[in-house]
Amino acid sequence: MSVSTSNAYGKISISDLAIAKVASQAAIESYGIVDTVSRRFTDTIADLLNKDAGGKGVKIVTSGNRIYIDVFVLVKYGVSIEAVAESLKESVKYKVEKFTGMIVDTVNVNVVGLKL
């Protein structure tokens, strides 16, 4: 899937993978986040075989011009998970909206584990 929009100059289409890469990068840059992780074990195997695993740990669902994002992360031990999750949500939402020009409806943060 992808999101599409058009203007006076033509049609713009942005793939889910491109959106996932932006969201993944925003997550990694957020304070308290150690890494993004795959959702399932089979995804981990696929990531090992794929040299460009951009968008790892991010699931994108698009509906019309709305974007729904699920982020799967490892959080640094000792930080407030609630504060890190709220910061992550705001960062991902801002950067994806700025990149796509579309509305990010929901950002769900899934803390998979902690890292010392």
Q: Is the dihedral of CA 71, 87, 29, 80 positive or negative?
A: negative
Phi, psi of 38 (to 5 degrees): -70, 155
List pLDDT tens digits, range 67-110. Answer: 999 999 999 999 999 999 999 999 999 999 999 888 999 999 99
Instruction: Give me the helix-helix angle, 81-100 and 16-29, nearest 10°.
Output: 140
Domains of the chain: 2-115 (3.30.70.1350)
Please give the model's pTM, rounded to 2 decimal places.
0.84
The burial of 39, by beta-carbon neighbours within 10 Å (0-12 exposed, 13-18 middle, 19 or more buried), is given as middle
Give the lowest-confidence range in 30-34, 42-46, 51-55, 99-103.
42-46
Phi, psi of 51 (to 5 degrees): -70, -35
